[in-house]
């Protein structure tokens, strides 16, 4: 089966919505439509018709387009079972370890609590694609609004174990600010320095920095390296438990 065509649709101030298109069937899904108008415009531009809506979590900037898109296209909405009470209109609910059909492609669902307690991510192996909402960002991770450090570190550890070539389609264009923070605590990382320079070039040209890959993040994302002794030492916590190191990195980013 041919890989999905994946289109980044900018929305709101810094969100990314994703259109997933299967050329063979002509089906199209949308992931986390924070608003409907940009999605409708992108579909019209390409001559595509929406087939399915997929949500990773309940925050308004990821679901506010659901109602209008369901009303216009009459399509099913797939989302996290644990957030059923917080996402209106879900037709299919899924949880950890489930597989779900996304326009003819099998996605594995991972529960990734931390940003919200019911957050999920979708991994589509045949397209080497991960849709992780606000759990994992390029060079960062989401704010810990509802979960615990232990939950969030487990979630990130699960995602970082996916194949290295997996492309990460996250919910926001935060990479440049994430890079500045990463450099502040991991400034000796040559790969991070090179990546930060490339990010600056892309943003200066108005280009997205997403997707990155699991391999990129393992090399340069401090939040995925809380069990690396060098990272623990960098935040003054040599020998500490990785969960505690992660919590300290997250605390520093919150006030950076």
Positions marked active-site: 57, 59, 61-62, 115, 134, 172
Instruction: Tell how far CA 27 is from the center of its chain.
Output: 22
Residue 205 CB-half CA count within 13 A: 9
Distances from the Cα of 156 to the Cα of 113, 186, 189, angstroms: 9, 19, 21
Q: What share of the chain is helix, strand, coil (3-state, %, to 5)?
A: 35, 25, 40
Number of residues that make up the chain: 256
- Supply the DSSP string of 93-124, one letter for each residue: EE-TT-EEEETTEEEEEEE-TTSSTT-EEEEE
Contact between 56 and 169 (Cβ < 8 Å):
no
């Amino acid at each position: 089966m041919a890989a999905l065509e994946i289109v980044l649709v900018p929305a709101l101030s810094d969100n990314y919505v994703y259109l997933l298109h299967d050329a063979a069937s002509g089906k199209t899904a949308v992931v986390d439509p924070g608003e409907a108008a940009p999605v409708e415009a992108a579909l019209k531009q390409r001559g595509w018709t929406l087939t399915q809506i997929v949500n990773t979590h309940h925050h308004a900037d990821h679901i506010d387009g659901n109602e209008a898109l369901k009303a216009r296209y009459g399509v099913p909405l797939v989302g996290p079972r644990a957030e059923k009470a917080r996402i209106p209109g879900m037709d299919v609910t899924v949880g950890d370890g489930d597989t779900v059909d996304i326009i003819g492609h099998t996605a594995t669902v991972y529960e990734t609590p931390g940003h919200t307690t019911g957050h999920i991510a979708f991994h589509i192996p045949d397209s080497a694609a991960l849709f992780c909402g606000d759990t994992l960002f390029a060079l960062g991770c989401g704010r810990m609004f509802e979960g615990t450090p232990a939950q969030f570190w487990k979630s990130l550890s699960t995602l970082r174990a996916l194949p290295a070539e997996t492309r990460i389609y996250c919910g926001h264009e935060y990479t440049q600010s994430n890079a500045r923070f990463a450099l502040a605590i991991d400034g000796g990382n040559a790969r991070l320095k090179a990546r930060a320079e490339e990010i600056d070039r892309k943003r200066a040209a108005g280009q997205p920095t997403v997707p990155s890959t699991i391999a990129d993040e393992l090399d340069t994302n401090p939040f995925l390296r809380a069990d690396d002794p060098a990272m623990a030492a960098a935040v003054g916590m040599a020998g500490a438990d990785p969960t505690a190191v992660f919590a300290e990195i997250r605390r520093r980013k919150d006030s950076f």
